[in-house]
Amino acid sequence: MSRRVTGPEIERLIQLLARLPGLGPRSARRAALQLVKKRDQLLIPLAEAMAVAAQKVTTCSCCGNVDTADPCAVCTDPQRDRSVIVVVEDVADLWALERAGAIDALYHVLGGTLSPLDGIGPDDLDIAGLVERAAQGEVREVILAVNATVDGQTTAHYVTDRLQGFGIRVSRLAHGVPVGGELDYLDEGTLTAAIRARQPF
Amino acid sequence: MSRRVTGPEIERLIQLLARLPGLGPRSARRAALQLVKKRDQLLIPLAEAMAVAAQKVTTCSCCGNVDTADPCAVCTDPQRDRSVIVVVEDVADLWALERAGAIDALYHVLGGTLSPLDGIGPDDLDIAGLVERAAQGEVREVILAVNATVDGQTTAHYVTDRLQGFGIRVSRLAHGVPVGGELDYLDEGTLTAAIRARQPF
C-alpha cells in the first residue's frame, strides 16, 4: 500500500497468506480481514491448528504420505490390500485417489518426477524406497499413477526398469475420455488413446 | 475423504483453511500440503504471525480501521487532511482507496450498509461515531464512498440526513465509465450516469 494504513503485524500476516497457493495479494488481504473479524472463531483456532501441525506433522518413512503418525494411517490400515502399491508423484495425488475411493491399496509417493532440465534425477525421488518395498516380496502389482505428462511418463518408464526382476506386475493408469468429458473439447492424443484402448460394449 | 489417509490434526487444519475467502475444500488441501512442505519457511512463521495478530489486532475507536494500534495508522498520520472524512462500508474499501492513493484524507468505516431485509438498522452501523466526529467542527467535507448498490445508496441518503446542520459538504463518488472500460459491456445505468455527468473535453 502507498502509505501505512495498518500495523506491520497485519501487513506481515497478509504477506505470508499471499504465499499460499490459490491466494494472491488481493485475496490474502480479504482473508486477513476475515481472520481478524472472526478472531475467536477462525484466527485463533487456525493459529493453534498450524502450531500443532508444525509440531506433529511428519512424512511417512514407508510411503512418503503426510501424517502426524509414522508409519501413516494408510500404511497401518489393516483393511488394505498390501500386495498392490500405487505410485504417485505427490501426496496430493494420493489424497485425490483416496477421495475417489479408486482402489484399496498401499501407496508410494515419489516426491516429483524425473526432470533432466530441472536437474531432478533418480536420487532426488524416493525410487530406492519403492524398490526396497518391492524387494520384500509381499508386493504383487505396482500401479504407476503418475501424471500423463512427458516427465511423468519418463519417470514411469524409469521406475518400470528399476522394478524388473522382482516378478511384479507393473501397470499404468488407462488413458481415455474423462468421465463427463465432451469429445469436441478433447485433444487428439486423448482421442487417439481412447480409440486404441476401446472396450467391447 | 472416504477413509483416513492423514492425521486428524491435518484434517482440522484443512477444514479451517477452507473457511478462508478464496479457498475451497480442494485448494485448502493444496494449501495445507504447501504449508506442511514449507514447514520452517511458511507454516511456522504463519502460525506465529496469526498468534501475534490475534493478540495485538484491534479496531480503531475513531474510524473503525483494523490495526494493531488505537487510534490507527491513518488517524494518527500527521500528513493527512483532517478536514475531509471518506465514509466506507468496510475496512477492505478503506485499504482499496489507500492502495489507489485516491485521496489524502481520514476515513470512517460504517461496518456495513442499512439493510431492512437483513434487519440491519442505523444502530448496527457506526453512524453515531461519524456524527460525533462531524460535530467536533474540524470536518469540512464528508465523501460517501459506499458501494453503488441499493443498500449502499440507501445508507448514503440516511448518513446525509444525519449530517445535516453541521455546515459540512457531503459528496459521493462519481458514477461513470470505469477507466479502461468498454461501453459495449457496460450496463444502461452506468452509461446513462456517464452521459448525464459528461465533462467538458
pLDDT tens-digit series, residues B141-195:
999 999 989 999 999 999 999 999 999 999 999 888 888 888 888 888 888 888 8
Phi, psi of A13 (to 5 degrees): -60, -45
Dihedral, B128, B129, B133, B139 alpha carbons, nearest 10: -80
CA distance A51 to B45: 10
Beta-bridged to residue B58, according to DSSP, are: B67
Report the residue of chain B nearest A68, measured CA to CA: B7
- Confidence class for position A175, pLDDT limits 50, 70, 90: confident
What is the pLDDT, as a whole number, of residue A49? 96
Task: Say yes or no to pLDDT of A126 above 90.
Answer: yes
For B182, the grid coordinates are 468498454
A42-67 burial by CB neighbour count: b if 16+ within 10 A, else e? bbbbbbbbbbbbbeebebbebbbbbb
Task: Tell which residue, A56, A10, A49, A51, has the closest CA to residue B28.
Answer: A49
Instruction: Identify the residue with better confidence: A87 or B191.
Output: A87
Please say if the pLDDT value at position A3 is more than 80. Answer: no
Q: Chain B: give the shortest CA distance to residue A80, in Å.
A: 11
Q: Once rounded to an integer, what is the mean pLDDT over residues A11-24?
A: 93
Task: Tell me: pLDDT of B5 over 90.
Answer: no
User: What is the percent of chain B with per-residue pLDDT over 70, rounded to a whole number?
Assistant: 99
CA distance B82 to chain A (A): 15
Closest CB to A68: pick one of B1, B10, B44.
B10
- Residue A11 DSSP SS3: helix
pLDDT (tens digit per residue) in B90-125 = 999 999 999 888 899 999 999 999 998 899 999 999
pLDDT-derived band at B16 (thresholds 50, 70, 90) equals: very high
**Do residues A108 and A85 lie in contact, with contact meaning Cβ atoms separated by under 8 Å?**
yes
Q: What's the one-letter identity of residue B19?
A: R
Backbone CA torsion sign across A40, B20, A3, B99: negative
Q: State mean pLDDT over A28-48.
A: 94
Burial of B102 (0-12, 13-18, 19+ CB in 10 A): middle
> pLDDT tens digits for B54-101?
999 999 999 999 999 999 999 999 999 999 999 999 999 999 999 888
For residue A105, the surrounding DSSP H or E stretch is strand A105-109
Cβ of residue A52 closer than 8 Å to a chain B Cβ = yes
Torsion of CA B126, B131, B136, B139, to 10 degrees: 100
C-alpha cell at B185: 459491456
Q: How confident is the model at residue A2 (pLDDT cuts 50, 70, 90)?
A: low
Q: What is the pLDDT, as a whole number, of residue B196? A: 87
User: Do you know the residue count of chain B?
Assistant: 201
Cα–Cα distance measured from residue A166 to residue B198, given in angstroms and rounded to the nearest whole number: 80
Best B6, B11, B13, B17 member to test A by mutation, with max A CBs in 10 Å, is B6
Closest CA to A19 of B170, B37, B52, B191: B37
66-95 of A, contacting B, C-beta below 8 A: 66-69, 72-74, 77, 79, 90-92, 94-95
Contact present, A48 and A113 (Cβ < 8 Å): no
Is there a contact between B12 and A42 (Cβ–Cβ < 8 Å)?
no
Using alpha carbons, select from B183, B4, B197, B24 the residue that is nearest to residue A66. Answer: B4
| Cβ pair A176, A147 in contact under 8 A | no
Q: Looking at residue A1, what is its pLDDT?
A: 44
pLDDT band, residue B1 (cuts 50/70/90): very low
Going B53 to B57 to B63 to B64, the CA torsion angle's sign is positive
The reported pLDDT for the residue numbered B2 is 56
Query: A120 Cβ partners below 8 Å, 6+ apart?
Result: A112, A113, A114
Given the DSSP bridges, would you call strands B105-109 and B66-67 parallel, antiparallel or unpaired? Answer: unpaired
Domains annotated for chain A, with CATH where assigned, are 8-56 (1.10.8.420), 66-172 (3.40.1360.10)
